[in-house]
Amino acid sequence: MSKLTALQAQLEKANSRQTPPAAPVSAAAPSTPAEPRPTSAKAPSREGKTHIGAYLAADFKRSLRLVQAQTGEDTQQLIARALNELFRSHNVPVVDHN
């Protein structure tokens, strides 16, 4: 008996003392798809809103934090204001985000 076989036999013996034997799982058996996770409810403050994000250089975040410190506005307000300025410069509708 190989070491692996002996070890497996000991594990099975120890396991059979603790719990009733379970049906063996075949490696070739197709796995059943996991049930979809229940979606978490949106926070009331996010109702009717959508996430817009971007991966940018760290300097963008640093500068954004400096503007936050100067104005007292939060990140969402600053990004909304910046996007509205971009929209004005391209003659597209500005969004009233009140």
pTM over 0.75: no
Percent of all residues in the chain with a pLDDT value above 70, rounded to a whole number: 74
What was the pLDDT predicted at 81?
95
Contact by Cβ (8 Å): 75, 68: yes
What was the pLDDT predicted at 74?
95
Tens of pLDDT, residues 43-85: 888 888 899 999 999 999 999 999 999 999 999 999 999 999 9
What was the pLDDT predicted at 94?
96
Contact by Cβ (8 Å): 59, 52: no
Which residues, 6+ apart, have CB-to-CB distance to 81 below 8 Å?
73
